[in-house]
Structure formats: structure tokens, C-alpha cells
Structure 1
Amino acid sequence: MGPLFAEDVRKLQQSVTAREADMLDGLGLSGLQDFRGVKDRAFNTADARFRPGDWNDNHNDAFRHTYWNALMTKEYGAEWAAEYATAHEARPGNRPEREAMDLYNNEAGRRIAQQHPGASEEELADLVEKAVRDGDLVVIDRGGRLTFTDHIDSAETGDPKLKAPEKAQEHQSDRNTGGSVAGEHSGE
């Protein structure tokens, strides 16, 4: 195991709940690297298709969660993806508005992948982008309310009462209490 991959594993261990860690343990080392690739593709594709920067509450966030779940469904199956994504959203400190947004969009991603089992990753990304543009996904408006993605511009998203994006926060995992809040790009 190279030093860069070891650092990736260390960061991943610090940003997951106990249930996520248990599920990831079952993937093995090469599986962890593949899983990290799925996550990275979701972030990179979201940034390529929607305004990058703040990864919370906006259209980029909605696309990323939906696409991430579509990719996990394609790679690991809908049941595994649902269990993992639900465990991920159960992080202590995850605001109810964000949890609701993410759970809704996660389910949409799994549904898209299940409805298009032979779709390539690019085709899934196109379907997810269409879902964002058609208003099939949700974001958080400046008042802290969930709203459909076609009812609001990305610049109008983000509840000012919510704490800063998790990317800027660093917390350690605590397997005894069920996990942690953050780590790099924890809003996936």
C-alpha cells in the first residue's frame, strides 16, 4: 500500500460513521480504492456540470448526491447503496434540513440507476443533470426550506442560519458514538 493511498484511507476513516466503516471494511483495500474513485467521480462531475465551490445545499450538492448514489447502485447494488448512504447521512451534527435533502436526492439517484441498468456513467450523469434541471431533486433555500431544483437558482440556495460547509471542519471518528461529522468533502 503506497503512502498516498494510506493517507486516503486515514482521511476516510476519520470522516465516516461506525456503520459506514463496517461496510467499507467489507470492501477490502482494493475495494476502498474503487469506492474512493466513485466518490471522486461524483464530486468531479458535479463540479464540471454545476457551479463548484460550496458543496452544500445547492444544485451542485443535489447533483453530486444523486449521481453518487446512481454510481454506487451501478457498482454495488441498490440495497448496499441505500444502506451506506443512509448511514452516511446519520452523522451526528448533520442538520435535519441537509439530511432530508440528501436522503431525498440519494433515493432519486438509486432509482435512476435502477431504471437504467445498462446506462454508462456518462449516461447516468446526463440523466441526473436532467433531473436537476427538471426539478426532480431538492435543494435548501435561504430560508432553510427544501425546494425543488427548478424553483430556485443555485445562487439563491443555502440557509444563512446553517453552519459553514463541512469541508472546512475537521472532526475525528468515534466508533463508540456512531461516527463523525466531517472530513474533506463530507457533504457527499
Structure 2
Amino acid sequence: MAIALAQGLLLLPDMIKEKESSLIILERITISHGIRSIQKMIEVHGRAHQGYAEVVRLTGENARLLAKNNKLGEKNFKLKDTAVQLGRQLETERRKGKEAEENFAKAMEELEKDEENVRIFEENISEAYDNGFDEASSSTTAVAPVLLDPMTPPALVNPAAQANPIALTYPITPVIDVDQEMIAPVA
């Protein structure tokens, strides 16, 4: 209110000067505010430009990361595919291993059977050999004269020599003939 009263007491030229002065001040303030707002607009535009550049940079970074993600996805897919194939191969090898173990077990069973057959064959051969040896020795002892004293040779009994004493002057050579009844003197 004091200002209004002071203005009312001023004279017209003073009022005009005051108004001019106020207008100049107002103009300066407006120019100053205009300059400041232009500076702020330039600053905001610069920040927006920096923001745009940042957006462009971040968009490029995002595209690079997406490309890397795609490559890693492809690599992951390939690794999964390889893992599946290796799993299948492992399963195949396990089956082959099981088959090999089964074949080995069968071969071992066959070997045990063959060993048992060989053992039985050897027993049979041994028994047959023993039986053949016993038969041969019993038939030989039945036909050949029994030695009472192992140091004296047996006397050969020749029925022809008993009938003819001259036949004793020629030595008699015994011959063992398997097909005939055993010992036959050769003249």
C-alpha cells in the first residue's frame, strides 16, 4: 500500500520515468528470463541429444547382446544335441558291453563244460588204458610161464624137442604172434 501511495504522490513526468524504468527493468528481466530459458532449452536439447545418443548406444549394446544371446542359444542347442547323441552312443556301448559280458559269461560256461568233458575224457582214457594194460598183462601171464625165480631164465618147453633130443642142438627162438594163441616156436 505504501507503494501505491508513493506512486500517487509522484508527478506525471516522474510517473512516466518510473513507468519507463519499470518497463526497462521488466524488459531486462524478460530478456534475462528469455536468455535463461533459451540456455535451459539448449541444455535440455543437449541433454536430450546426449540421451538420444545414449539411447542409440544402448540400442546398439542391446542388439549386440541379443546377437551374443542368439549365438549362445545356437551353441547351447548344438551342445544339447551333441549330449543327446553321446547319450545314445553311451547307451549303445553299454548294450554292447552287456552283450560282451553275456558272451563272455557264455564262453566261460562253455569253457567250464569243455574242461569237465576233458577231465571225464582223461578219466575214461586212463581207465581204458588201465583196463587194457590189466587185460594184456593177465593174458600174457596166462600164456607165458610163471617165473619162480626172477634170476633164472625159464626153460622153454618144446614138445618136438622132447620127442627129438637132437632138436635141442639148434636154439629155439620164441616168436610172439598176437593173432595166434601166443607163443609159437620157430624152427
TM-score (ref. length: structure 1): 0.19
Q: Which has the larger radius of gyration?
A: 2
Using CA pairs under 8 Å that are at least 6 residues apart, name the structure with larger relative contact order, 1 or 2: 1
